[in-house]
Structure 1
Amino acid sequence: MRINKLLSNLGLCSRKETNRLIEANRITVNGRLCEPGQWVEEDDIILIDNEPIPVKEKIYIALNKPVGITCTAAKEVKSNIINFMNYPEYIFPVGRLDKASQGLILMTNDGELANKILKSENEHEKEYIVTVNKPFDDLFMKGMSEGVEICGVKTRHCKVSRVSEDTFRIILTQGLNRQIRRMSKAFGYTVVRLERIRILNIKIDGIDIGKWRNLTEKEVIELRNLCI
């Protein structure tokens, strides 16, 4: 794999930060200065500042993201999730939850597990509670569950159930950009509140808005098993 992906998977730094280390001539591969985007093998001798790659303890966090925070590690975005958490170690969000939405986002330094969670064909479940701008009927729920044409594709079938006259629960197995908002818009509804409450086996229960907790060892094992 490329050196950038390797260091991210190992929880050392982001892919962009890897490029900065390479540009500063701080990484060598088999005794030679590393080049941007270089492919590396498991048996290569990779040194950073003439030292072996440090082994980082894996971090797994469930965060209840507030509205107004952007799920990106890009430092140039002032309201990014990294600045919001101000966590002392390198971590990044697993996927995204748009700025206007709130709820569960997983934070980690385990790039390998993050890739497995996000892999579209694995059809991993994500659950949301959504409020729209007006009451809806059963035809709306049926239409949403059977798939909606957005962004030039038809969404996968999903589970939709009523919570109240203007609020529904939806379980998706894909993550198109602003998917629920666009699906609702296709039927003439505007989302006024969107909260993600579950990703696979991880639930938001007990985490206040803006707070986070470490996943338990049992949760991490279950998460890994679900991603096999």
Structure 2
Amino acid sequence: MPDNSHENPQNQKEETRLQAFLAHCGVASRRASEKIILDGRVTVNGNVVTELGTKVTPKDTVCVDGKKVSLEEKKRYVLLYKPLGYVCTQSDEKGRPCAVDILKESYKERLYNVGRLDMFSHGAIIFTNDGDFAARLSHPSAEIEKEYIVESSLPLPRYLAEDFKKGVRVEGIFYKAKDAEELNSHRMRVVLVEGKNREIRRVFENAGVSIRNLCRVRIGNIELEDLEPGQFRELNEREVQGLLKLCKN
């Protein structure tokens, strides 16, 4: 598994930055942990802390939303086939089902998603409690490939795949696929490395194409293969190391 010993609080006697500590506790990625701190949701030894420079040790009592968090010894890396209708958040104020809830009966660790899929899309998404792993994979500079199969209601415009590869500007935002290939008149394979919010949907809508089905079938070296919606499996060490080697950051 990834060697994070140089930053892991379990392997240090000295103090560690609070956002790094939260990431190693499986609360969220470091970036997301920073927002949790700034929002005043974290206490250290009973005191609310909002300074990102705050340092703690494993002996300190750290709570998030009033619940104590602790360092997790077991790092988890889980591939989930997210079904349609599920959102990629830890909780949803609208009461919609969360993808992470599918995993809660099988894992006691607090897992969070690396990247997102909107509720109307389905397919591969990775969950982990390893903050460093999540931060590397989710950063745009990593340029990890994500492959999608897109099905349209009406025939695809003949120029769409080539235009997407060259780059398309929609409402001032530039979208460019690493690869796009028309599989038949209603299906296209799209590979993204950055994945701006709703990128494929915006490009298709701009071309007057209604998407009937959008499935992510691959993240880097990890493919859905035989998983069905709602099913999941743990990544092995070779797969985790393979993902990290693909990161360009």
- TM-score by structure 2 length? 0.78
Contact 1:8 1:109 in 2 (8 A): no
Q: Does 1:6 align with 2:30?
A: no
Between the aligned partners of 2:198 and 2:158, the Cα distance in structure 1 is 23
* Higher mean C-alpha displacement, 213-222 vs 9-18: 9-18
* Offset from partner CA, 1:129-179 (integer Å, 9 cap, x none): 000111124312111221111352211342111222100100001121111
Cα 1:113–1:216 shift into 2, 3 Å: same
Between the aligned partners of 1:7 and 1:95, the Cα distance in structure 2 is 21
Amino acid at match of 2:49: E
Query: Pairwise CA RMSD of aligned residues?
Result: 2.6
Cα distance, 1:21 vs structure 2 = 4.8
Contact 2:87 2:99 in 1 (8 A): yes
Cα distance, 1:55 vs structure 2 = 4.1
> Paired residue for 2:103?
85
Contact 2:177 2:190 in 1 (8 A): no
Cα 1:186–1:17 shift into 2, 3 Å: closer
Cα 1:10–1:178 shift into 2, 3 Å: same
Q: 4+ residue stretches of structure 1 with deviation over 6 A?
A: none
- SS state of the match for residue 76, structure 1? coil
Cα 1:52–1:67 shift into 2, 3 Å: closer
Amino acid at match of 1:113: F
Between the aligned partners of 1:225 and 1:39, the Cα distance in structure 2 is 30
Between the aligned partners of 2:77 and 2:202, the Cα distance in structure 1 is 30
Contact 1:12 1:56 in 2 (8 A): no
Between the aligned partners of 2:177 and 2:100, the Cα distance in structure 1 is 33
Structure 1 segments unaligned to the other structure (5+ residues): none
Cα distance, 1:37 vs structure 2 = 3.6
Between the aligned partners of 1:74 and 1:89, the Cα distance in structure 2 is 16
Q: Does 1:61 align with 2:78?
A: yes
Amino acid at match of 2:131: G
Between the aligned partners of 2:22 and 2:47, the Cα distance in structure 1 is 19
Count of equivalent residues: 218
- SS state of the match for residue 174, structure 1? coil
Contact 1:144 1:184 in 2 (8 A): no
Between the aligned partners of 1:151 and 1:126, the Cα distance in structure 2 is 23
Between the aligned partners of 2:141 and 2:172, the Cα distance in structure 1 is 18
* Offset from partner CA, 1:182-205 (integer Å, 9 cap, x none): 111111101110000011111111
> Paired residue for 2:49?
35
Q: Identity percentage over the alignment?
A: 29
Q: Does 1:152 align with 2:182?
A: no
> Paired residue for 1:221?
241
Superposition pairs of residues 167-206 of structure 1, within 5 angstroms: 167-206=187-226
- TM-score by structure 1 length? 0.84
